[in-house]
């Protein structure tokens, strides 16, 4: 995972001179490498250690998949080619900023087979596994968990005697439906170890977090997970699970997120069911000095 350096030094900041730091979430190894493309590209997602970069953010929105350690690059179709397919959903956004808005909502997945690289972009929260939360309208009181497989390659004969290959997106496959009354506000899908976990709230209140395995929900079983061991999950636009053996400052069996009813960054201890502040307010603003005890 690519990390910022702290003190508001985001990847691509001029003071970093094109360098970026990566953390191996399995071993805790940290590597600093030079990525010249960060000087004029934005990193809009990371896929298994690869970087999805965007340049020309106000015009075509060029997209490139970069291996940060070998320098290998694959050029992909620009984001502008997606705009006609989105209909009126971007009409409220000024034309000059539509590409930038698209990039801010992208999640990516990539597959590599027989020398062919396929990148799937999800415009919004979600990746290959998706959650369609119940909205309460039209008697829609069931949460739906969906899976989208990789695109299907279709070959057809061309006019010159050759063949052309196109990709067709598979329709979503329904994995499970869960009544809204039994699982309140599921919002996040997080990979933890070898499991995909679903995070929401318990009962009518948002005071207690509920975590279930997606595999159990597929079997229509709501089996709460009481502990995630020495792992801590971070929830927001990017959801990850990190083990305390990787980051020594991370305390295990916690979920770090914004408090559902109060505006502060909190941590929820699963075993005890208690909330506390994850950091003090000074830590939210870069170089501000923290409090003394």
User: Which tokens hold the place of 97?
Assistant: 């900023």
Could you give the number of structural domains in the chain? 1
Domain annotation covers residue 102: yes
Model pLDDT, residue 274: 93
In a domain, 264, yes or no: no
Is 75 within the bounds of a domain?
A: yes
How confident is the model at residue 180, as a pLDDT? Answer: 84
Length of the chain: 293
pLDDT of residue 256: 92
Output the pLDDT for position 193.
80
176 found inside a domain:
no
pLDDT at position 291: 47
pLDDT of residue 187: 82
Give the angle 2-103-52 at the CA atoms, nearest 5°. Answer: 40
Assigned domain for 114 exists: yes
Task: Judge whether 11 lies within some domain.
Answer: yes
The pLDDT value given to residue 290: 46
CB 223 within 8 A of CB 232: no
Tens of pLDDT, residue by residue, the chain (293 residues): 887 777 778 888 888 888 898 888 777 888 999 998 988 888 888 887 889 898 887 778 888 999 999 999 999 888 888 888 777 777 788 877 888 888 877 778 777 777 777 787 877 656 567 788 887 555 578 888 888 876 777 777 766 667 776 667 778 889 888 888 888 888 888 988 888 899 998 877 788 999 999 999 889 888 999 999 989 999 987 788 888 878 777 788 999 999 988 888 899 999 999 999 887 665 555 555 444 44
pLDDT of residue 72: 92
236 assigned to some structural domain: no
Q: Please give the Cα distance from 243 to 194 (Å, whole number).
A: 13
Q: Is residue 183 part of a domain?
A: no
Boundaries of domain holding 46 = 1-123
pLDDT at 254: 93
Burial class (CB in 10 A: 0-12, 13-18, 19+), 192: buried
């Amino acid at each position: 995972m690519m990390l910022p350096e702290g003190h508001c030094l985001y990847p691509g900041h001029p003071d970093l001179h094109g360098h970026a730091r990566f953390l191996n979430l399995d071993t805790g190894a940290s590597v600093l490498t030079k990525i010249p493309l960060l000087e004029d590209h934005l990193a809009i997602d990371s896929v298994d250690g690869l970087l999805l970069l965007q340049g020309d953010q106000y015009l075509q929105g060029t997209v490139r998949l970069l291996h940060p350690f070998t320098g290998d690059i694959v050029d992909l179709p620009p984001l502008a080619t997606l705009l006609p397919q989105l209909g009126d959903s971007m009409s409220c956004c000024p034309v000059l900023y539509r590409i930038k808005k698209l990039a801010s909502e992208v999640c990516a997945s990539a597959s590599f087979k027989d020398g062919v690289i396929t990148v799937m972009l999800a415009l919004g929260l979600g990746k290959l596994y998706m959650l369609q939360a119940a909205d309460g309208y039209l008697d829609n009181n069931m949460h739906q968990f969906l899976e989208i497989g990789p695109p299907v390659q279709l070959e057809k004969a061309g006019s010159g005697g050759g063949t052309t290959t196109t990709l067709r997106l598979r329709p979503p496959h329904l994995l499970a439906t869960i009544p809204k009354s039994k699982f309140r506000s599921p919002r996040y899908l997080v990979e933890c170890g070898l499991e995909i976990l679903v995070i929401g709230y318990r009962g009518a209140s948002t005071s207690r977090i509920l975590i279930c395995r997606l595999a159990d929900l597929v079997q229509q079983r709501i089996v709460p997970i009481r502990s995630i061991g020495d792992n801590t999950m971070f929830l927001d636009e990017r959801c990850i699970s990190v083990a305390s053996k990787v980051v020594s400052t991370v305390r295990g069996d916690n979920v770090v997120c914004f408090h559902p009813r109060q505006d502060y960054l909190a941590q929820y201890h699963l075993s005890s069911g208690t909330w506390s502040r994850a950091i003090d307010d000074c830590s939210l603003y870069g170089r501000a000095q923290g409090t003394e005890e």
